[in-house]
Amino acid sequence: MKTDFIFRFLVAFYTLVASTFAADTLSANQTIGINETIVSPQQTFELGFFSPGNSINHYVGIWYKKISTGTVVWVANRNTPLTDTSIELALTLQGVLIIRNTTTGFIIWSSTNSSTTSVKNPIGQLLDTGNFIVHEEDDVIDQENPIWQSFDFFTDTLLPGMKLGWNLVTGIDRHIKSWRSNDDPASGEFSYSIDTRGYPQLNVFDGQDLKFRGGPWTGLTFTGFSNFKINRLYNLTFVVNNNEIYYQYNVLDSSVITRLVIQPNGRLDRFFWIDNRQEWNLYLTQQSDLCDQYAVCGSFGVCNINNSPFCLCLNGFEPTSPSQWRNTDWSQGCRHTIPLKCEPEEGFKKYSNLKLPDTQGSWYNQTMTLVECERMCKRNCTCTAYANSNISGTGSGCLLWFGDLVDIRTFNENGDTLYIRLSASELDSSRSPSASRRIKVIVPVAVAVAVLIILVSICLFYRLIRKRQQQEGTTKSKFDHGPVKNEDLELLMFGFSTILKATNNFSNNKKLGEGGFGPVYKGVLEDGKEIAVKRLAKTSTQGLHEFKSEVILISKLQHRNLVKLLGCCIKRDEMMLIYEYMPNKSLDSFIFNKTQSKILDWPTRYQIIVGIARGLLYLHQDSRLRIIHRDLKVSNVLLDTDMNPKISDFGLARTFGGNQMEAKTNTIVGTYGYMAPEYAGGGVFSIKSDVYSFGVLVLEIVFGEKNREFVHKEHSNNLIGHVWGLYNESRSLELVANSLSESIDTSQVLRSIHVGLLCVQRNPEDRPTMTSVMVMLGSEGSLPSPKEPGFYIGKPPQEIRPSSSSNGVCSNNEISISLLNGR
């Protein structure tokens, strides 16, 4: 017994000696071979050679030791891949880290020699922070100013304690740069750095182009990080002084493991390690909503993600090019409604809850007060706006903007306050609102419309009478004539008084709902026919252009699964569309409603899915035009008395001539949760982006859950993500709406889910066309396996925030955001 004890003690002792001896240091006469590593004292990080992903190249890097996924946080030779294993890492007597070819002895890579003083006895040491430092062996370690440190040379990851930004003394600009791909750590296109052209801001660049602005530091947070909340996991530090400008974050509890990484696709993600699940959880991500695109609404435009379309002009501003603006091309931005003339009466109006505009070219002074700031801005005619640079406490500091203000968005809460220069009369009118300006714009348009209407109505009048006479004897639709020369005239114009009478003066109890562009009312014509009147909001951006396009488009379309447009009505600047009335309203009032959803048994749901598919197929393929709907969603599907689905709302549809299959738009319209990734991210729309929306719709109909609002206690994937997970575990049936259990046709349900998943695949080319969808829904044959869907992780970031009620990272429900595959 006794000997056994001593023996064990000795073994433990030797391993202890062995591991501390070689563990965390690299001395000047020591080398590290391809299979050797050094490990930090607490076993947190490990340094050595590795091969990323599927690559056969070797790199020297630092990765987490305790965490098994092998997440690499630093790469020494990212741009110098090593192709074979006859290599070693060594520290020279001058304190320079080198990678040597063991066959030839040639140095293949070396760290920059930043040391100016000669070094006596250098030693390298891997710290538990993930920093590899080189220092004098005999000295007390100066962790702040070592001879060399890996924390001065960033890869794609910002660890707690790293200083992202400028050392103004040495001129080093430390920034993270993405890997080229998950298999290749070479410098990619995207970087995250502090931009010092003006008041310093944290920006994501795509090459030279500004892609996303974290915005300037406001004393508490960064103005562009709408989703950052003061929390108990980590804090932020931002320092601006004569020696350095940097951003840093620190964990408040050392057991918390977190990293900020710029991904090969340019996304900036913060992860937390969830120990009991042994995986990284995405905690925050940037550039995930459309308003995060840099300057998407142009100068003086403001992006509001809850608005549709999401670009607006700031109060006191109007579109520079109204026609382009109405057409959702916001690139020209907005201009002052009343131009500034640099008069002394000009003043400033307060705008709240904003992301502060781009500070490139701005000026700042951190000690001035707001009053001094206003005075300073007022004195200089090119100064367009001012704000406090530090909102902490009662506010301090001064930030001035000159010229156009770009990249502004609104937040529901916690936004910043900005004071913008306006003319005296604009300031007056914003105190006593007057619509005089709008009328000026609308009158000429209205006059033009009126002239057109008079001409049109004269010729329509006779046709109308003739048609009414014909109607009795024919079931043929009144729009379905042979070729007609002027298709624009094939519309019924309703008189405003008729509409007023039918809708009881647009009485509130006739209101059916509120669409994207205005309210919809039920009406009854004198002959008893029921109609639905979509009254386009006067404030809506749907101008004459969209109005006409919607009217003309729909009037040309004839299909049982498309809602039928009966006519329109124009009264001055008011535009109304008259549709056939759908007594059952829209699909969302059924499937997302606990009691109503019982009415929709499986056969009905299947009939609805097939009906929508038919309608969409008609839009894509069978009608005379190729039409991409672009805003297909549950609330745009109406149901008739027999529960036949009818697709509605073509305001966003575009006609495509000839062979054109795909188009790119600078401006993106649609609804979050239904938008395909290539459309939401890059503005590329095609019939395949409609197919994606259709896929979302199918899954929502089968499961009776909203994709975007889906909640699950174990993860925060959206519905697509959840279904994808179930599908991969062959558990698809688990979630199918409870109310369906009796009516269910298992193979039909599985087939629908399968088709839905095929439609939401990330890559548009992988998605089927609507023709194939129809074939797949109707046949029994085997289907291809779906690939990974687009947009299945997580919710929009503003809905992601740490709980403040319990203790930390390790509990699943709190900050689990989504499951990403570690690389």
Ligand X SMILES: *[C@@H]1O[C@H](CO)[C@@H](O)[C@H](O)[C@H]1NC(C)=O
Strands 492-493 and 565-571, sheet pairing: parallel
548, 529 Cβ separation under 8 angstroms: no
Stretch that binds ligand X, among 18-26, 107-115, 327-335, 738-746 (CB under 6 A): 107-115
| One residue of 31, 43, 94, 623 binding ligand X per CB under 6 A | 94
User: Of the candidates 55, 69, 353, 366, which one interacts with ligand X according to CB under 6 A?
Assistant: 366
- To ligand X, the closest distance from the beta carbon of 67 in angstroms equals 21
Tell me whether residue 366 or residue 621 sits nearer to ligand X (CB atom): 366
- CB of residue 596 vs ligand X: minimum separation in angstroms? 51
**How far, in whole angstroms, is CA 746 from its chain's centroid?**
36
| Residue number with CB closer to ligand X (250 or 763) | 250
Which segment (8-16, 65-73, 82-90, 429-437) binds ligand X by CB under 6 A? 82-90
Segment interacting with ligand X, rule: CB under 6 A, options 1-9, 115-123, 452-460, 675-683: 115-123
Return the residue of 19, 20, 68, 86 that touches ligand X, per CB under 6 A.
Answer: 86
> CB 33 → ligand X: shortest distance, Å?
6
Asked if 474 interacts with ligand X (CB under 6 A), we say: no
Query: Is residue 54 near ligand X by the rule CB under 6 A?
Result: no
761: region left, alpha or beta (phi > 0 left; psi from -120 to 50 alpha): beta
Of 22 and 525, the one with the shorter C-beta distance to ligand X is: 22
Q: Tell me the C-alpha distance between 551 and 770, whole Å.
A: 25
Cα angle, residue 126 at apex, residues 125 and 127 outer, rounded to 5° = 110
- Binding window for ligand X (CB under 6 A); candidates: 86-94, 444-452, 646-654, 667-675: 86-94
Q: Which is nearer to ligand X, 362 or 429 (CB)?
A: 362
Out of 113, 324, 644, 665, point to the residue binding ligand X (CB under 6 A): 113
Of 70 and 219, which has the nearer Cβ to ligand X?
A: 219
DSSP lists the bridge partners of residue 181 as 184
Residue of the chain from 25, 55, 101, 589 that contacts ligand X (CB under 6 A): 101
Site for ligand X in 296-315 (CB under 6 A): none
Residue with tokens 């996991």: 233
Give the shortest CB-133-to-ligand X separation in angstroms: 17
Token output for 647: 């697709």
Measured from the CB atom, the residue of 136 and 580 that comes closer to ligand X is: 136
Residue 427 C-beta: closest distance to ligand X, Å: 22
Question: Does residue number 402 form part of the binding site for ligand X (CB under 6 A)?
Answer: yes
Please, which residue, 251 or 452, has the CB nearer to ligand X? 251
3-state helix, strand, coil in the chain (%, to 5): 25, 30, 45
Which one, 364 or 602, has the nearer CB to ligand X? Answer: 364
241 touches ligand X (CB under 6 A): no
Q: What is the 3-state secondary structure (H, E, C) of 474-521?
A: CCCCCCCCCCCCCHHHCCEECCHHHHHHHCCCCCHHHEEEEECCEEEE
Contact stretch for ligand X (CB under 6 A) within 206-214, 349-357, 392-400, 544-552: 392-400
Binding region for ligand X (CB under 6 A) out of 127-135, 192-200, 365-373, 483-491: 365-373
> Which of 68, 392, 804, 806 touches ligand X (CB under 6 A)?
392
Contacts with ligand X: how many residues (CB under 6 A)?
40
- Under the criterion CB under 6 A, does residue 139 sit at the interface with ligand X? no
> Is-contact 219 201, C-beta < 8 A?
no
Q: Does 80 bind ligand X (CB under 6 A)?
A: no
Q: Identify the three-state secondary structure at position 275.
A: helix
Cα separation, 297 vs 567, whole angstroms: 34
| CB of 504 vs ligand X, minimal distance in Å | 58
CB 256 to ligand X: min, Å? 11
Nearest approach in angstroms of CB 318 to ligand X is 26
C-alpha closest to that of 102 among 133, 58, 62:
58
Distance, CA of 122 to CA of 322 (rounded, Å): 67
Per CB under 6 A, the segment of 81-89, 163-171, 432-440, 655-663 that binds ligand X is: 81-89
CB of 103 or CB of 659, closer to ligand X: 103
Contact 445, 544 (CB under 8 A): yes
Please indicate whether residue 631 is annotated as part of the active site: yes
Task: Choose, by CB under 6 A, the member of 12, 16, 18, 252 that binds ligand X.
Answer: 252
Is 569 an interacting residue with respect to ligand X (CB under 6 A)?
no
Contacts for 485 with CB less than 8 Å, ≥ 6 apart: none
Q: Which of 35, 54, 276, 730 binds ligand X (CB under 6 A)?
A: 35
Q: Which is nearer to ligand X, 221 or 671 (CB)?
A: 221
Query: Between residues 402 and 496, which has the closer beta carbon with respect to ligand X?
Result: 402
Please provide the DSSP assignment of 430-475 as one string. HHS---HHHHHHHHHHHHHHHHHHHHHHHHHHHHHHHHHHHHTT--
What lies within 8 Å, CB to CB, of 723 at 6+ separation is: 699, 703, 732, 735, 753, 756, 757
Contacts of 209 (CB under 8 A, 6+ apart): 294
Assess 237 for contact with ligand X (CB under 6 A).
yes
Peptide bond into 519 cis (omega under 30): no
Interface pick for ligand X out of 103, 241, 242, 436 (rule CB under 6 A): 103
Q: How far apart are CA 130 and CA 159, in angstroms?
A: 8
According to the binding rule CB under 6 A, does residue 376 interact with ligand X? no
- Does the protein bind ligand X through residue 118 (CB under 6 A)? yes
Q: Which residue lies nearest ligand X, judged by its C-beta? A: 393
H or E segment and range at residue 50? strand 45-50
Say what the alpha-carbon torsion angle 39, 44, 47, 49 is, to the nearest 10 degrees.
110
Contacts of 599 (CB under 8 A, 6+ apart): 590
CB nearer to ligand X: give 91 or 627: 91
Instruction: Determine, following the binding rule CB under 6 A, whether residue 28 of this chain makes contact with ligand X.
Output: yes
Q: How many CB atoms lie within 10 A of CB 634?
A: 22
Residues facing 47 on adjacent strands:
38, 62
Q: In one letter, which amino acid is 415?
A: G
Cα three-residue angle 635-605-676, rounded to 5 degrees: 50
Instruction: Note whether 255 binds ligand X by CB under 6 A.
Output: no
Rounded to a whole number of angstroms, the minimum distance from the CB of residue 113 to ligand X is 4
Q: How far is the CB of 175 from ligand X (least distance, A)?
A: 21
The active-site residue, picked from 195, 358, 631, 690, is 631
Phi, psi (5° rounding) for residue 13?
-60, -45
CB of 30 to ligand X, least distance (A): 7
Cα 743 to the chain's mean position, in Å? 38
Instruction: From 109-117, 409-417, 582-590, 716-724, give the range in contact with ligand X by CB under 6 A.
Output: 109-117
Number of Cβ within a 10 Å radius of residue 273: 22
Q: Give me the long-range contacts of 130-134 (CB less than 8 A, separation at least 24).
A: 130/40, 130/44, 130/45, 130/62, 130/73, 130/74, 130/159, 131/161, 132/47, 132/62, 132/74, 134/91, 134/95, 134/97
CB of 367 to ligand X, least distance (A): 5
Residue 235 or 505 having the CB closest to ligand X: 235
Choices 29-37, 69-77, 479-487, 705-713 (CB under 6 A): range interacting with ligand X: 29-37
115 touches ligand X by CB under 6 A? yes
Residues interacting with ligand X, by CB under 6 A?
27-29, 34-35, 82-87, 94, 96, 101, 103-104, 108, 110, 113, 115, 118, 121, 219, 235, 237, 250, 252, 363, 365-368, 372, 380, 382, 390, 392-393, 396, 402
Q: Which residues are catalytic?
A: 631
